[in-house]
C-alpha cells in the first residue's frame, strides 16, 4: 500500500498491528527487510507486546527487549511505550509519523486489560461467562477515567477525512502481434531466435516490458531471479515500477496484494517451485479480491539437470484447485496459462492484463520451436488443435506439447490417426473436450510433466460431468519424484512418462 501511494504521489500513513507471538513468523522479518530496503517510513508497525500467545506465555525470543534489539539490528528506529496510556500512545504515533526512516512502536500491554477475568492465559478466544458480565462492565466503567487524553488543541481525535485524491491518468493498451526480431533488436539472444527457438519465460519478459510501455498500471515484483524469469526486461526499462523483493516470496505476494489495492496490476515472478512458499499469502490475497498476475518459471520436470528442488511440479494441481472455485464476480478464482511456445506466452500475458482477477502462468526454461504465427489469437479457456485425427485425442500442455507432437506424428506413420491439442488454459471450455471425445472415438490421453490433479483431472472432470461424452481418459503425468538428468527425456523416462 505504501508503494502504491508513493507511485501515485499520495501522502498516506499505514499502521500495522503485530502480535509479539506472531513475530516468530518469518514473513514479519521479510517485511522489515523490505521496509528498510525501500525506506518506507510511511509504514508504522506497532508490536502489541502482552507476553502471551494462544496457548501460553511467549518464548523469550519474542520478549519486548529482544524484539526491540531485533528491530534495531534490522535498521528500524524503535519507540517503547505503555500501550494503555493514551497520552503515551498519541506521543509515539506523532513521533513515528514525523520520522523520515522506518520506525516501529513496541507497546507494553496486558492481554484482557480492563477485565480481570480475561487476563488469564487460558482466556484466548473464549467468551466471558454470562454470570461474570456484570462485574466486567463495572470494571470497564471504572477504568474510563484512566483513559482520558489530555486536552490538546492541535489534536483531533477524529480528524477530517482527506479530500478525494484523483489518481494520475493511466494509459491502457494492447500488445501488437509480436515481431521478435524487432523486440530483441540488440539482445545477444537474437541469433538463437533466428534459428526458430525461444523459451516461454523470455517471451513473458518481453511481453511484460512491452505492456508496461502502453499501460502505466503495470508493476513487476521478482524474488532475486529476474535474470531467470526475464522480468529483468521490465527492470531495465522501468526501474521505478520494478521491485526487487529478494528471496522472500511470502512478503512478495503480500506486497503485490497491496499494490493491487492501490489500483496497479502487479506481475509477480519467481520459479514455480519457490512460489509454493507463498501459497498461504496467495489465498489471503484472493480473499481480498487482489488482481494478481503470477508467473512461475522453470515449471515441470523438463528442466532435467537442475533436479526436483528446482522443478515446479505441484503448482498445477494447487492452482487448478483454486480455478474450480468462483470469485465475487462468479468467475474462476484463478485462471491458469501453460503456453507451449513463445508466441502463445506473449499473447497470454495480454490476456492476464485484460482479466480482472487472478491469473497464473507457467513458463519453461528451455528454448522451444515456435508453434504459431505472430497473428494467432488466444482466449481464456481455449485450446488449439495442432493435428486433427479421429482415433485418439492427445491433449497436452506446456513443454509436453512438443514431445507429443513427435509422438503423434509417429503414431500416424504407424496407422493410428491421432489428434493433438495444445491445452494452454485452465479451466478449459467444456465444449472443446466434448468435441475432442466425439471426434476421436471417445479416447483421450492427457499429458503433463507435473504431478497429477492438473490437466488430466480437468479433462476427466469435464467428461464425468457430461454423460453424452462417453469417453475414456488416460492420464500421463509425473508419478514418482524426479531426479536430476542430462536431458528432459532422461527425467521423463525415470518418472514413468516415456512416451
Residues 300 and 347 in one domain: yes
Report pLDDT for 227: 96
Residue 93 belongs to a domain with what CATH number? Answer: 3.40.50.970
Which pLDDT does position 469 carry in this prediction?
A: 83
- Among 147, 172, 200, residue at a domain's last position: 147
Co-location of 191 and 104 in the same domain: no
Q: What is the pLDDT of residue 144?
A: 75
Same domain as 237, residue 137? no
- Under 8 Å between Cβ of 382 and 435: no
What's the structural domain count of the chain?
A: 3
Domain end (from 369, 400, 434): 369
| Domain-located, residue 161 | no
Q: Do 355 and 388 fall into the same domain? A: no
338 lies in a domain? Answer: yes
Residue 154 lies in a domain: no
Q: Tell me which of 125, 147, 169 is where a domain ends.
A: 147
The reply to whether 360 and 402 lie within a common domain is no
Answer yes or no: do 189 and 322 share one domain: yes
Under the phi-then-psi rule, with left for phi > 0, alpha for psi from -120 to 50, and beta for the rest, what region is 450? beta
Q: What is the C-alpha to C-alpha distance for residues 435 and 288, in angstroms, rounded to an integer?
A: 37
Looking only at the bridges linking them, the beta strands covering 418-422 and 384-387 are: antiparallel
Residues 6 and 73 both lie in one domain = yes
Residue 393: CB atoms within 10 A of its CB come to: 29
Q: What was the pLDDT predicted at 165? A: 63
Domain range for 273 is 180-369
Query: Are 327 and 418 part of one and the same domain?
Result: no
Tell me how far apart the alpha carbons of residues 221 and 292 are, in angstroms, rounded to a whole number: 11
Q: Taking Cα atoms as reference points, which of 376, 369, 374, 435 lies closest to residue 403? A: 369
- Indicate whether 298 belongs to any domain: yes
Same domain, 260 and 311: yes
> Are both 113 and 199 inside the same structural domain?
no
Q: What are phi and psi of 35, to 5 degrees?
A: -60, -45
Q: Is residue 85 part of a domain?
A: yes
Residue-level pLDDT at 173: 84
* Residue 400, domain CATH: 3.40.50.920
Say yes or no: 43 and 142 in one domain: yes
Q: What's residue 172's pLDDT?
A: 78
Residue in 5, 305, 276, 299 with CA at minimum distance from that of residue 165: 5
The pLDDT value recorded for residue 101 is 97
Query: Nearest Cα to 221, choosing from 200, 201, 263, 249?
Result: 249
Residue 312 lies in a domain: yes
CB 335 within 8 A of CB 360: yes
Does 284 map to a domain?
yes
Q: Are residues 61 and 19 both part of a single domain?
A: yes
Residue 148, Cα to own-chain centre: how many angstroms?
A: 45
Residue 374 counted as domain residue: no
Q: CA dihedral defined by 422, 428, 430, 435, rounded to 10 degrees? A: -10
pLDDT digit of tens for each residue in the chain (499 aa)?
Answer: 999 999 999 999 999 999 999 999 999 999 999 999 999 999 999 999 999 998 899 999 999 999 999 999 999 999 999 999 999 999 999 999 999 999 999 999 999 999 999 998 888 888 889 999 999 999 998 887 766 666 654 555 455 666 666 665 677 789 999 999 999 988 888 888 888 899 999 999 999 999 999 999 999 999 999 999 999 999 999 999 999 999 999 999 999 999 999 999 999 999 999 999 999 999 999 999 999 999 999 999 999 999 999 999 999 999 999 999 999 999 999 999 999 999 999 999 999 999 999 999 999 999 999 999 999 999 999 999 999 999 999 999 999 999 999 999 999 999 999 999 999 999 999 999 999 999 999 999 999 999 999 999 999 999 999 988 889 999 999 999 999 999 999 999 999 987 6
Q: How many CB atoms lie within 10 A of CB 278?
A: 24
**What pLDDT is recorded for position 39?**
97
Q: What is the pLDDT of residue 196?
A: 87
Amino acid at each position: 500500500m505504501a508503494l502504491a501511494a508513493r507511485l501515485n504521489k499520495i501522502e498516506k500513513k499505514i499502521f500495522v498491528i503485530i502480535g509479539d507471538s506472531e513475530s516468530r513468523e518469518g514473513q514479519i522479518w521479510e517485511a522489515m527487510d523490505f521496509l528498510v530496503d525501500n525506506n518506507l517510513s510511511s509504514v508504522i508497525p506497532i508490536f502489541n507486546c502482552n507476553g502471551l500467545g494462544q496457548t501460553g506465555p511467549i518464548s523469550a525470543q519474542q520478549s519486548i527487549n529482544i524484539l526491540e534489539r531485533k528491530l534495531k539490528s534490522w535498521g528500524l528506529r524503535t519507540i517503547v511505550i505503555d500501550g494503555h496510556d493514551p497520552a503515551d500512545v498519541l506521543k509515539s504515533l506523532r513521533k513515528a509519523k514525523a520520522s523520515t526512516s522506518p520506525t516501529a512502536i513496541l507497546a507494553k500491554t496486558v492481554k484482557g486489560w480492563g477485565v480481570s477475568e480475561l487476563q488469564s492465559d487460558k482466556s484466548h478466544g473464549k467468551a466471558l461467562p454470562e454470570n461474570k458480565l456484570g462485574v466486567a462492565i463495572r470494571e470497564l466503567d471504572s477504568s474510563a477515567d484512566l483513559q482520558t487524553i489530555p486536552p490538546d488543541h492541535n489534536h483531533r481525535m477524529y480528524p477530517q477525512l482527506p479530500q478525494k485524491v484523483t489518481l494520475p491518468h493511466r494509459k491502457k493498451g494492447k500488445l501488437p502481434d509480436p515481431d521478435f526480431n524487432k523486440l530483441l533488436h540488440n539482445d545477444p539472444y537474437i541469433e538463437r531466435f533466428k534459428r526458430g527457438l525461444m523459451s516461454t519465460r523470455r517471451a513473458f519478459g518481453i511481453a511484460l516490458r512491452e505492456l508496461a510501455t502502453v499501460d502505466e498500471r503495470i508493476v513487476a515484483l521478482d524474488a532475486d531471479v529476474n535474470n531467470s524469469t526475464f522480468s529483468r526486461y521490465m527492470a531495465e526499462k522501468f526501474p521505478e515500477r520494478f521491485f526487487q523483493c529478494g528471496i522472500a516470496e511470502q512478503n512478495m505476494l503480500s506486497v503485490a496484494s497491496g499494490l493491487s489495492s492501490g489500483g496497479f496490476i502487479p506481475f509477480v515472478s519467481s520459479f514455480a517451485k519457490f512460489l509454493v512458499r507463498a501459497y498461504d499469502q496467495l489465498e489471503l490475497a484472493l480473499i481480498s479480491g487482489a488482481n494478481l498476475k503470477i508467473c512461475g518459471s522453470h515449471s515441470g520436470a523438463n528442466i532435467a539437470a537442475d533436479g526436483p528442488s528446482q522443478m515446479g511440479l505441484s503448482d498445477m494441481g494447487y492452482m487448478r484447485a483454486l480455478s474450480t472455485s468462483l470469485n465475487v464476480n462468479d468467475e474462476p478464482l484463478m485462471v491458469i496459462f501453460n503456453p507451449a511456445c513463445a508466441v502463445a506466452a506473449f499473447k497470454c500475458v495480454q490476456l492476464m492484463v485484460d482479466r480482472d482477477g487472478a491469473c497464473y502462468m507457467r513458463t519453461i526454461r528451455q528454448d522451444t520451436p515456435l508453434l504459431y504465427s505472430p497473428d494467432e489469437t488466444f482466449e481464456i479457456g481455449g485450446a488449439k488443435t495442432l493435428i486433427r485425427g479421429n482415433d485418439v485425442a492427445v491433449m497436452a500442455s506446456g513443454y509436453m506439447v512438443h514431445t507429443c507432437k513427435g509422438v503423434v506424428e509417429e503414431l500416424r506413420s504407424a496407422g493410428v490417426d491421432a489428434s493433438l491439442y495444445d491445452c494452454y488454459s485452465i479451466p478449459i471450455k467444456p465444449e472443446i473436450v466434448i468435441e475432442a471425445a466425439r471426434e476421436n472415438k471417445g479416447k483421450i490421453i492427457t499429458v503433463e510433466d507435473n504431478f497429477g490433479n492438473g490437466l488430466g483431472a480437468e479433462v476427466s472432470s469435464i467428461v464425468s460431468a457430461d454423460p453424452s461424452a462417453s469417453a475414456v481418459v488416460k492420464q500421463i503425468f509425473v508419478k514418482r519424484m524426479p531426479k536430476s538428468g542430462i536431458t528432459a527425456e532422461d527425467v521423463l523416462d525415470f518418472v514413468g512418462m516415456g512416451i
